[in-house]
Amino acid sequence: MRDLPRGYRDTQEPGKYRVAESSGENYFEFNLGPHSWKQFLFPPKQSVSSCKKTDNGWEFTTNVDSPPKFAFLGVRACELAAIEVQDRVFMEGPFVDPVYQARRESTFIIAVNCTVAASTCFCTSMGTGPKCKSAFDLALTELDDGFVVEVGTTRGRSMISDLNIRKIDREHASDSQLLQQRACDQITKRMDTSGIRNLLLENLDHPHWDDVAKRCLSCTNCTMVCPTCFCSSVTEVSNLSGDQIERERQWDSCFNVDFSYTASGTVRDDVRSRYRQWLTHKLASWHDQFDSSGCVGCGRCITWCPVGIDLTAEVAAIRNTPFSNRTLPVIQPVSKAACAFPKDVKP
């Protein structure tokens, strides 16, 4: 408990994050720091396999991750949504990521309902918060004289069975409601998500991408703090003699130039195409790939952008300046069954 930032709050603006003492003694009066829970479920660095040189050539071993059992305390509604988004990425495709799966399945989640909001929050626009609705074992709402506990799973119920708790009374229930409403009321940032997939994919040659490219430093901060960004690269970590090698998977970013390198050239070789890739993936093509938005409205990419680029403003700019000079066709969603499946062919 002493590790919690009791009596502190954060203020967030585009490109600005400050921690300050608050007037009260609450444990959860802050919103979100730069680090999401992604760092535990999808570690920034993770060895996936290793190899050893022997007299008979290389020997390969797939590394089995034996993660600690995690309990996450203070997971906000947008963060729960982000975990659910990554669940779909890492566990529901044709290939399951063994590292993520092992960690995810052993994680116990104690969520916290936000009672305040930052100026960068827009979970209400993304339909993810501020109230925690699912994917938690326990959810807390902090009142001045204690916590309201909501049980999400049987695991959660057995966890609290030994605690000194009592049934919620009407006064506490209404306080809890009011505090959650306060968070809601404090959210001022909005993103109009209506038809957003087509809006962005119909505007791939909109001049506004050039405008963002002038400001964007392509520094990768937004992708590092984003709780759903999942891009990675495997790098070789060798010992000095080069006969023992670890293959380490590290977070990567679509803002890096070499990210789209191919033998026939780099596909996205300017900032314009890289920012466009990030935004259209997050808000548009993510729907085609994973049946949801890739954005949960946590606002981290706004706060931690060194030049304060605000994706909600970029989307609004595209929406509000219809571009009639279109030369590109609308990219239609295509059913997943539209590809040839591999079939076992014997030589």
Partner 1 sequence: MNATPDLTKARRSSEPWHTFPVTIRRVCAEAPNVMTYDFEFDNHADAQQYAFAPGQFNMLYVPGAGEAAISIAGRTSEGRFLKHTIRTVGVVTQAIAKGGVGMSLGLRGPFGTSWPVDFFSHPFLKRDVIVVAGGIGLAPLRSLVLFLIQHREKVGSVRLLIGARSPEDVVYESELNEWSENGVEIHVTVDRPSLNWRGQVGVVTLLLGRIAIPSPQSTLVMTCGPEVMMRYVAKSAMDRKIPTENVWLTLERNMNCAIGLCGHCQLGPKFICKDGPVFRYDYVRDLLRVQHF
Q: Which of residues 173-202 bind partner 1 (CB under 8 A)?
A: 201
Q: How far apart are CA 126 and CA 78, in angstroms?
A: 9
**For partner 1, the closer CB: 20 or 240:** 240
If the CB atoms of residues 30 and 209 are measured against partner 1, the closer one turns out to be 209
316 closest CA partner among 199, 233, 223, 219: 199
Q: Does 164 bind partner 1 (CB under 8 A)?
A: no
Residues 238-277 binding partner 1 (CB under 8 A) are 238, 242, 245, 247, 252, 254, 259-264, 267-270, 272-273, 277
Site for partner 1, residues 271 to 310, rule: CB under 8 A: 272-273, 277, 280-281, 285, 288-289
Q: Are 114 and 130 in contact (CB under 8 A)?
A: yes
Give the contacts of 230 (CB within 8 A, at least 6 positions apart).
42, 86, 89, 90
Q: How many CB atoms lie within 10 A of CB 33?
A: 15
Nearest distance, CB of residue 266 and partner 1, angstroms? 9
**Among the residue ranges 12-20, 143-151, 188-196, 326-334, the one whose residues contact partner 1 (CB under 8 A):** 326-334
Of 4 and 58, the one with the shorter C-beta distance to partner 1 is 58
- In the bound state with partner 1, the residue whose beta carbon lies nearer, of 90 and 122, is 90
Residue 319 within binding range of partner 1, rule CB under 8 A: no
| Number of other residues whose CB lies within 10 A of the CB of residue 5 | 17
346 near partner 1, judged by CB under 8 A: yes
Residue (306 or 333) nearer to partner 1, CB: 333
d(CA 344, CA 10) in angstroms, rounded, equals 57
Residue 146: alpha-carbon gap to chain centroid = 30
Of residues 53 and 155, the one with the C-beta less far from partner 1: 53
Q: Which helix (H) or strand (E) holds 91?
A: helix 77-91
Question: CA–CA separation, 223 vs 232, rounded Å?
Answer: 11
The region of 8-16, 22-30, 182-190, 322-330 touching partner 1 under the rule CB under 8 A is 322-330
How far apart are the C-alpha atoms of 69 and 98, rounded to whole Å? 15
| Nearest distance in Å: CB 41, partner 1 | 13
**Smallest distance, Å, CB 236 to partner 1?**
5
x/- letters, 21..50, toward partner 1 (CB under 8 A): ---------------------------xx-
Q: Is 318 in the site for partner 1 (CB under 8 A)?
A: no
Contact between residue 116 and residue 183 where contact means Cβ atoms under 8 Å apart: yes
Positions in 47-86 near partner 1 (CB under 8 A)? 48-49, 51, 53, 56-60, 62-63
How far apart, in whole angstroms, are the C-alpha atoms of residue 136 and residue 240?
46
Strands of 108-112's sheet in order across: 71-75, 108-112, 138-143, 146-151
- Closer Cβ to partner 1, 68 or 242, answer by number: 242
Instruction: List the one residue from 18, 20, 95, 144 that touches partner 1 (CB under 8 A).
Output: 95
The CB-of-97 to partner 1 minimum distance in angstroms stands at 6
CB of 268 to partner 1, least distance (A): 5
Report 203-232 residues binding partner 1 (CB under 8 A). Answer: 204-205, 230-232
Total binding residues toward partner 1, as defined by CB under 8 A: 72
244-251 sheet: strands from edge to edge: 57-62, 45-54, 244-251, 232-238
Beta carbons of 238 and 245 less than 8 angstroms apart: yes
Residue 343 is a binding residue for partner 1 (CB under 8 A): yes
Residue 50, both tokens? 């290793």
